[in-house]
């Protein structure tokens, strides 16, 4: 693994988040949509919903499309959610020009056109637009590119990630109903050699394309009717194998970033991709991390490639980080992609 040490000072100009407007959807509400649960009393569905929370860690999520529902005009897209989050991030410094924009998503609403350019255009900017597709590591892959752009001379970079994973729920895999969600987040970063908010000490981003089909949406582009009728273009894969791979990659990254465990004691917070809290707690225990978790998935669900950016924005809003705190951002996503960054609050 290639660990970079940018030692880059960053100022956070703004940040923001966006969720579908139709409110949170509870486990019981999802169960009520399941044909296998028809006729069950509301109390029974609530009890079953609590069991889902205990097993998966999600009690509610935000969806732009309910399981089994047909597409409809006006529903949120990854583009609209990313745009809303970006506008929120720009709010405090609306007069400052965006120099570069990085957008990450695995659920683009455009086939050949650049969703990144479309978002930037609606913001009224002609800056360079970059689009990143890196599974559930899209947040950190996007930040990795942003750091490179800042290091190459850009004064500021806007990063926005969004997903509408509800649109790839698999009707035949009920687990995907509960582990997938929609949302977006944005972070506007400025290069700050003096008086930074954070210093980025180390970062890595890597992929293993041999596992590209481990957990994905089968079906090639352009879409064809036969694949659609056979149930293609919906999430499928080996969840058990993915969890095993994720644990291995997380521990490998910790070993590469902190050889011999040196520096781990300075990590106070971990912001991780949020699909399995038990897995992340296992990583912390086995990896020797005594840090606290920043976690929002119990309230908003697994927003995939936007999850790290979403939780980081919440942590910044809550003022969780104090001077000297080490913050570890990390993710493993289907594809296979894996990334880690070590920030220090200044």
CB-CB contact of 204 with 256 (8 Å):
yes
- What 3-state DSSP class applies to 125? coil
Return the minimum-mean-pLDDT range out of 92-106, 245-259, 302-316: 92-106
Q: Among residues 166, 191, 216, which one ends one of the domains?
A: 191
Q: Hey, what are 106's tokens?
A: 């695995």
- pLDDT value of residue 163: 98
Domain boundary among 143, 172, 191: 191
Quick check: 94 pLDDT over 80? no
- Same-domain pairing of 176 and 214: no
Domain boundary among 191, 215, 231: 191
The answer to whether residues 100 and 171 belong to one domain is: yes
Q: What is the pLDDT of residues 194-220, one digit of tens each?
A: 999 999 999 999 999 999 999 999 888
- pLDDT at res. 249: 97
Instruction: Assess whether pLDDT exceeds 90 at residue 27.
Output: yes
Identify whether residues 169 and 211 lie together within a single domain: no
The pLDDT of residue 300 is above 90: yes
The helix (H) or strand (E) run that includes residue 227 is helix 225-229
Instruction: State whether 179 and 244 are in the same domain.
Output: no
Q: Identify whether residues 209 and 310 lie together within a single domain.
A: yes
Q: What is the pLDDT of residue 73?
A: 85
182 & 280 share domain: no
Q: Are residues 236 and 287 in the same domain?
A: yes
Q: So what's the pLDDT on residue 340?
A: 98
Token pair recorded at residue 92? 């405090």
305 φ/ψ sector (left φ>0, alpha ψ -120 to 50, else beta): alpha
Coil, strand or helix at 167:
helix
Instruction: Please say if the pLDDT value at position 68 is more than 70.
Output: yes
Tell the residue number behind the tokens 């529902």, with chain if given: 69
- Domains identified in the chain, total number: 2
- For residues 59-76, give the mean pLDDT: 91
Which of 312, 315, 304, 297 has the alpha carbon at shortest distance from 337?
304
- Mean pLDDT confidence for 266-293: 95
Query: What is the pLDDT of the chain when averaged over all its residues?
Result: 94
pLDDT for residue 95 is more than 80: no
Residue range 250-272, pLDDT digits in tens: 999 999 999 999 999 999 999 99
Q: Which of 118, 105, 111 is nearest to 160 (CA)?
A: 105
Residue 163 lies in a domain: yes
229, pLDDT greater than 90: no
The secondary structure of residue 37, as a DSSP letter, is: G
Instruction: Assess whether 43 and 114 both reside in one domain.
Output: yes
Strands 182-191 and 198-207: unpaired
CA pair distance 158, 183, nearest whole angstrom: 17
| Average pLDDT for 55-63 | 92
The answer on 120 and 238 residing in a single domain is no
**Band of the pLDDT at 75, cuts 50, 70, 90?**
very high
Residues 265, 158, single domain; the answer is: no
Task: Verify that 123 and 167 share a domain, yes or no.
Answer: yes
User: Both tokens of residue 71?
Assistant: 């597409």
* CB-based contacts of 244, cutoff 8 Å, min separation 6: none
Reported as type and span, the H/E element at residue 147 is helix 138-151
pLDDT at 92: 67
CATH number at residue 105: 3.40.47.10
Q: In the predicted model, what is the mean pLDDT of residues 55-74?
A: 90
The whole domain housing 73 covers 9-191
Percent of the chain with pLDDT over 70: 99
Exposed, middle or buried by CB within 10 Å (0-12, 13-18, 19+), for 307? Answer: buried
Give the integer Cα–Cα distance in Å for 70 and 212.
28
pLDDT of residue 329: 98
63 vs 75: CA distance, rounded Å? 10
In a domain, 1, yes or no: no
2 in a structural domain: no
Whether residue 180 is found in the same domain as residue 237: no
For residue range 124-174, list pLDDT tens digits in order: 999 999 999 999 999 999 999 999 999 999 999 999 999 999 999 998 888
């Amino acid at each position: 693994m290639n660990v970079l040490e940018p030692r880059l000072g960053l100022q956070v100009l703004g940040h923001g988040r966006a969720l579908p407007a139709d409110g949170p959807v509870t486990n019981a509400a999802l169960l009520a949509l399941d044909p296998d649960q028809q006729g069950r009393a509301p109390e029974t569905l609530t009890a079953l919903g609590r069991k889902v929370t205990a097993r998966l860690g999600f009690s509610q999520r935000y969806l732009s499309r309910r399981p089994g529902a047909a597409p409809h005009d006006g529903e949120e897209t990854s583009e609209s959610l990313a745009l809303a989050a970006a506008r929120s991030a720009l709010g405090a410094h609306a007069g400052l020009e965006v120099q570069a924009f990085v957008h990450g998503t695995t659920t683009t609403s455009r086939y050949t056109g650049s969703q990144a350019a479309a978002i930037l255009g609606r913001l009224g900017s002609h800056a360079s637009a970059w689009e990143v597709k890196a599974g559930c590591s899209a947040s950190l892959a996007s930040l990795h590119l942003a750091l490179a752009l800042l290091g190459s001379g850009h004064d500021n970079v806007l990063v926005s990630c969004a997903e509408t994973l509800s649109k790839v729920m698999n009707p035949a895999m009920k687990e995907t109903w509960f582990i997938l969600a929609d949302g977006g987040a944005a972070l506007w970063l400025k290069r700050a050699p003096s008086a930074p908010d954070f210093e980025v000490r180390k970062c890595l981003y890597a992929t293993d394309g041999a596992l590209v089909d481990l957990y994905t949406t089968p079906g090639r582009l352009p879409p064809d009717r036969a694949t659609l009728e056979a149930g293609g273009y919906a999430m499928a894969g080996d969840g058990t194998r993915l969890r095993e791979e994720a644990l291995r990659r997380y521990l490998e990254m910790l070993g590469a970033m902190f050889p011999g465990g040196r520096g781990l004691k300075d990590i106070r917070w971990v912001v991780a991709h949020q699909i399995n809290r038990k897995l992340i707690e296992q990583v912390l225990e086995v990896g020797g991390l005594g840090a606290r978790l920043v976690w929002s998935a119990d309230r908003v669900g697994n927003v995939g490639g936007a999850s790290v950016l979403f939780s980081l924005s919440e942590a910044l809003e809550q003022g969780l980080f104090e001077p000297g705190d080490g913050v570890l951002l990390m993710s493993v996503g289907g594809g296979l992609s894996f990334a880690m960054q070590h920030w220090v609050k200044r």
